[in-house]
Amino acid sequence: MRVLAIALACLAVTACSKSTTADLSHDVKDAGHELKAEADKIKTDPDIRKEVGHDLSVSVKEAAADAKIEADKAGDKAKHTADDVKQDVHDDSHS
């Protein structure tokens, strides 16, 4: 929420005095440091890492299942196409 407030304040920078601009700049830097600190906590928190790992695992499994379905469809289509070509060749040889 603080980042949003700072971002909105950045829009008004052109109308601010130098001291206000300096304060705003300081706030933006502080917000950046806070975000980095939170990101570092998330990166090293074992519970969050476990949850993210689980979510990633589920996503990979779902993507693999979808890929298998599409591969099966493509295989079926290729088989039907090969059967059609085989039939066409057989029909042409008996004509």
Q: What is the pLDDT of residues 44-76, one digit of tens each?
A: 888 888 888 888 888 999 999 999 999 999 988
The answer to whether 16 and 24 have CB atoms below 8 angstroms apart is yes
pLDDT confidence band for 12 (50 / 70 / 90): low
Residue 31: predicted pLDDT? 81
Asked whether the beta carbons of 27 and 6 are under 8 A apart, the reply is: yes
How many angstroms from the chain centroid is the CA of residue 7?
A: 24
Give per-residue pLDDT as tens, 19-53: 666 676 777 788 888 888 888 887 788 888 888 88
Scan for tokens 């570092």, then name that residue.
40
Eight-state DSSP code of residue 45:
-
Global pTM value: 0.45
